[in-house]
Amino acid sequence: MTHQVHIIGGGLAGSEAAWQLAQRGIKVRLSEMRGGGERTAAHQGDALAELVCSNSFRSDDDEKNAVGLLHHEMRRLDSIIMGAAEVGRVPAGSALAVDRDVFSAEVERRLGEHPNVEVVREKIDTLPTEGLTIVATGPLTAASLAESIGKATGAQSLAFFDAIAPIVHYDSIDMSICWMQSRWDKKSGPGSEGKDYINCPMNKEEYYAFHKGLMEGEKTEFKEWEKDTPYFDGCMPIEVMAERGVETLRFGPMKPVGLDDPRTATPEFPQGRWPYAVVQLRQDNKLGTLWNMVGFQTKLKYAAQVELFRTIPGLQNAEFARLGGLHRNTFINSPVLLDRQLRLKGAEHIRFAGQITGCEGYVESSAIGLITGMMAAAELQGRAWRSPPPSSAMGALLSHITGDAEAETYQPMNVNFGLFPPMHDVGKKQRKEAYTNRGKADFGEWLQSMESVPA
């Protein structure tokens, strides 16, 4: 098939960009090196849009949450990622979490069946010198292509470390100690009972012993050239968080608030009391056989992980489907290198999409892939392009990447209301809802206007 756009990278952003182009009648060649004899340090298989860290797309609340608003906007634009997430959805309270295998298989099926998409298992070592191209190779870009990008940009790529949380087999969890409950009994949707998480309780003595074990456990050693590489706050290893203070984890991933331990029930407190600390596990597949340790990204060595995590009440016999890990992520200084349409300055036939642009998170990466696909389609079809309003989640994220951020301190960023134009005339308690209401209205007007944008 003769292609009109070449997409390099079959992750979330590349898959979304391919779908958006194909749905608009554009023929796409999607190059993915996995399956062609190549692997990365973090991927487990060859599937398109493989989720290498958590299985969560975070909050699905589009009334008071920035990432939930981004979900809303992507659904309105026929996102393949959001569509596949619905197919693979598993219980997760107010969050959107998926069976990672079902999700990736659905993305691969839809793209594989599309007449305008050709998926090719091949490694691309250099940036193409001509032809419309979208680079969506993500934070694990192969060294040869990263070197080519470095030469083209004339700037050294930035980098940060990203950590992966362990996954536990359900049948190895002691449910006589643990219990099922979402925080504050939050329901994930129709039919939900507010019991989407497994909770492992800790008393004060157990928590302090666990904290000590984190501090003393054997960690992954960095290579000399990696020692100045920072962590991204949104995926901080749990032991790095623990270094900030002995109580830090109790206000983060081990927060017990809103979780009633039924084993402590009394006539006065029939539902039970909150433990001193809690380790939560979230369902990782539709069968409910695999559960992800929420917030437990780690750089502990494997043996140290097994030894320490089996001290958690309820996980004393835990069997791990996957242990935690650490990998180095790479991204470019987008505010300097890219124009407002995500084109590489000086080589406008090349666009960048996804995490390599410096956005962080599955949803954000997918959203930038989506908008990049729309931009390329508009260019090919001779239509004028107008970016989403900065009051929308997609527009705010795009503005941050393409110029609003400080270039000298540019770091990966999740979508958040701090990226939106401020609303000083709204009280703090109403502000989040006001942001989402404004964003939905402005995004809807933008969608209507795009349908009649002249060439």
Confidence of residue 225 (pLDDT cuts 50, 70, 90): very low
Mean pLDDT check: name the lowest of 40-54, 225-239, 266-280, 379-393.
225-239
Please check whether residues 240 and 321 belong to one and the same domain.
Answer: yes
> Going along 213-356, which residue ranges are E strands?
277-283, 290-293, 320-322, 325-331, 343-344, 347-352
CA angle 25, 28, 33 (to 5 degrees): 155
**Listed residues 311, 327, 343: the one ending a domain:** 327
Q: What is the pLDDT of residue 220?
A: 76
Q: What is the pLDDT of residues 421-445, one digit of tens each?
A: 888 888 888 999 999 999 999 999 9
* Bigger pLDDT: 396 vs 424: 396
Cβ atoms of residues 160 and 230 within 8 Å: yes
What is the pLDDT at residue 232?
Answer: 65
Query: How far apart are alpha carbons 58 and 297 in whole angstroms?
Result: 16
89-90 sheet: strands from edge to edge: 56-59, 95-98, 89-90
Segment (H or E) for 105: helix 100-113
Average pLDDT of every residue of the chain: 90
User: 430 and 322 in one domain?
Assistant: no
- 422 in the same domain as 292: no
Q: Which residue spans within 26-150 are E strands per DSSP?
A: 28-32, 56-59, 89-90, 95-98, 117-121, 133-135
Task: Determine the 3-state secondary structure of 7 from DSSP.
Answer: strand
* AA letter at 218: E
Strand 197-202 with 277-283, pairing: antiparallel
Q: What is the pLDDT of residue 224?
A: 55
CA–CA separation, 16 and 393 (whole Å): 17
> Is it the case that residue 451 has pLDDT exceeding 70?
no
291 and 250 within one domain: yes
∠293-297-302 over CA atoms, to 5°?
Answer: 90
Give the pLDDT confidence of 257-311 residue by residue, as tens digits: 999 999 998 888 888 899 999 999 999 887 888 899 999 989 899 999 999 999 9
Tokens of 361: 């998170």
CA distance 353 to 373: 9
How many domains does the chain divide into? 2
For the residues of 122-149, what is the DSSP string, one character each?
----S--SSS-EEE--GGG--HHHHHHH
> Per-residue pLDDT for 329 more than 80?
no
DSSP string, 355-387: GGGTB-SHHHHHHHHHHHHHHHHHHHTT----P
pLDDT of residue 227: 58
pLDDT at 222: 62
Residue 353, SS3? coil
- Residue 403 DSSP class: I
**Is it the case that residue 35 has pLDDT exceeding 60?**
yes
**pLDDT tens for each residue of 343-373:** 999 999 999 999 999 888 899 999 999 999 9
- Mean pLDDT lowest for which of 67-71, 299-303, 330-334? 330-334
Total length of the chain: 455
The percent of residues in the chain predicted with pLDDT above 90, rounded, is 66
Q: Which residues are annotated as a binding site for FAD?
A: 9-14
List the CATH number of the domain containing 101.
Answer: 3.50.50.60
Kindly report which listed range (130-134, 240-244, 332-336, 408-412) carries the lowest average pLDDT score.
Answer: 408-412
pLDDT of residue 338: 94
Nearest-CA neighbor of 145 among 31, 53, 2, 13? 31
Query: At which of 272, 302, 327 does a domain end?
Result: 327
Q: What are phi and psi of 159, to 5 degrees?
A: -155, 155
pLDDT at 147 (0 to 100): 86
Q: Do 146 and 19 lie in a common domain?
A: yes
Q: Tell me which of 165 and 207 has the higher pLDDT.
A: 207
216 in a domain, yes or no? yes
190 in any annotated domain: yes
Edge-first strand listing for the sheet containing 347-352? 117-121, 28-32, 5-8, 133-135, 347-352, 343-344
Residues 114 and 227 in one domain: no
Percent of the chain with pLDDT over 70: 92
> Cα(135)–Cα(145) distance, rounded to whole angstroms?
10
Do residue 223 and residue 139 come from a single domain?
A: no
Q: Name the token pair of 397.
A: 């994220």
Q: Are 412 and 235 in contact (CB under 8 A)?
A: no
Within-domain flag for 377: yes
Domain assignment present for 71: yes
Q: What number of other Cβ atoms are within 10 A of residue 230's Cβ?
A: 11
> 141 and 84, same structural domain?
yes
Which residues, 6 or more positions from 388, have their beta carbon under 8 angstroms from its beta carbon?
Answer: 73, 371, 394, 395, 398, 443, 446
Q: Which two tokens stand for residue 222?
A: 């960095």
The residue from 327, 349, 372 where one domain ends is: 327
pTM: 0.79
Annotated binding-site positions = 9-14
Residue 316, in any domain of the structure:
yes
Residues 6+ apart with CB under 8 A from 58: 67, 95, 96, 361, 363
Q: Same domain for 235 and 319?
A: yes
For residue 455, is it within any domain? no
- Band (pLDDT 50/70/90 cuts) for residue 201 is very high
198 pLDDT more than 80: yes
Instruction: Give residue 326's pLDDT.
Output: 77
Q: Assess if residue 113 is contained within a domain.
A: yes
Shared domain check, 134 and 28? yes
Residue 364 resides in a domain: yes
What CATH number corresponds to the domain at position 293? 2.40.30
Q: Is the dihedral of CA 283, 42, 71, 433 positive or negative?
A: positive
For residue 455, the model assigns a pLDDT of: 45
Same domain, 426 and 378: yes
Q: Do 358 and 245 fall into the same domain?
A: no
Range of the domain at 230: 164-327
User: Tens digit of pLDDT for each residue in 150-168?
Assistant: 888 876 666 767 778 899 9
